[in-house]
Structure 1
């Protein structure tokens, strides 16, 4: 599929919808507990849910499999580490939802994920479309 403005915007929208479901509807208690620990199986599973959703989006656009494998692996690593950084910071500062710093950390986390999707779509348009 060609990388027209319409396809780029549609891909970004689908990745945003995927993100909403993976981050806010599909997290299990295991994914949400103990997040300040780096080697956390729940965080690995959570990042994998994101990757599965992204793979489905890229398949819809007829993306070549080698590109999907590379971008999925990179997304898993980036998502895992963004989430760790937020969890580690929030734990160290003992942040609670009643504090502005909690929401700044959550906002930065979401911004970093959104910028990841911009980079992924750029890579798709540049190397796979």
Structure 2
């Protein structure tokens, strides 16, 4: 189970880098602070697609995959939307506070992956 946990966490980190930095467009960034706007929804869907690949690679069961994908979509979307609302409200477009907000956003995403790994590995063991 430890090997599965490490592999899954590594896959989720790679997926996160791709989804948040390589594949994210200006359109997605602009719309993440507008609740329900397509850009933010697409951004979260890209993350869910990457998580699907990671879960299939560790051979998670269908009920676990479905639960994780729904939860991650909702959580990822709201983390990003919340960060954008705060950054825009306070006008933090650069400087230390902007980077603090980015850091907190990334921390929350990382903790989401810890929760996903714990959930998946808890179901692999049972």
Let me know the Cα RMSD of the aligned residues: 1.1
- Over residues 58-100 of structure 1, what are the superposed CA-to-partner deviations in whole Å (9 max), with x where a residue is unaligned? 0001111121011100000000000001000000011122x21
From 7, 11, 33, the counterpart of 1:10: 7
Contact 1:67/1:128 (CA < 8 Å) preserved in 2?
A: no
| SS of structure 1 residue aligned to 2:36 | coil
Higher helix share: 2
From 99, 103, 126, the counterpart of 2:122: 126
From 81, 85, 89, the counterpart of 2:78: 81
The ranges of structure 1 where at least 4 consecutive aligned residues each deviate by more than 3 angstroms after the TM superposition are none
Structure 1 residue runs of 5 or longer lacking an equivalent are none
- Within a 5 Å distance, the mapping from 1:1-129 to structure 2 comes to 3=1, 5-97=2-94, 99-129=95-125
CA distance in 2, matches of 1:6, 1:61: 10
Structure 2 length-normalised TM: 0.94
Structure 2 residue runs of 5 or longer lacking an equivalent are none
